[in-house]
Amino acid sequence: SQKIEQNSEALNIQEGKTATLTCNYTNYSPAYLQWYRQDPGRGPVFLLLIRENEKEKRKERLKVTFDTTLKQSLFHITASQPADSATYLCALDVGGKLIFGQGTELSVKP
């Protein structure tokens, strides 16, 4: 069956450290993969998009990797800050439909 799995547990890290979130998928062949941030009570906010032929994408303190062989994407936040605390969602573009993972709740402690 088709599945998307993100870090099952919430992630707690210390301010200044690098947060690494994982997104693994099975039985999908996405052409694109996207990452979103969602704060409680609000809609998700688009962060980054990476294409299947790209290995890595960066934007300020954010970095995304996409390994279509391992069927995995890693999302890194460097020099993390308490303001980065939120739920992060990965989304696979499958035939034009966005299929979202369950999300990983990140908490950055001062």
Partner 1 sequence: KAGVTQTPRYLIKTRGQQVTLSCSPISGHRSVSWYQQTPGQGLQFLFEYFSETQRNKGNFPGRFSGRQFSNSRSEMNVSTLELGDSALYLCASSPWDDRPYEQYFGPGTRLTVT
Q: Which residues bind partner 1 (CB under 8 A)?
A: 31-32, 34, 36, 42-46, 49, 51, 89, 93, 95-103
Calpha distance 100→103 (Å, rounded): 8
Closer of 5 and 13 to partner 1 (Cβ): 5
Calpha distance 28→31 (Å, rounded): 10
Which residues are within 8 A (CB) of 76 and not within 5 positions of it... i.e. 6 or more apart? 18, 19, 20, 21, 62, 63, 64, 65
Closer of 13 and 62 to partner 1 (Cβ): 62
Nearest-approach distance from CB 5 to partner 1, in angstroms: 12
Phi then psi for residue 101, to 5 deg, are -80, 175
Strands 11-14 vs 104-109: parallel, antiparallel or unpaired: parallel
Nearest-approach distance from CB 32 to partner 1, in angstroms: 4
Closer of 5 and 78 to partner 1 (Cβ): 5
Closer of 72 and 100 to partner 1 (Cβ): 100
Nearest-approach distance from CB 38 to partner 1, in angstroms: 8
Nearest-approach distance from CB 29 to partner 1, in angstroms: 14
- Residue (of 67, 59, 69) closest to 37 by Cα position: 59
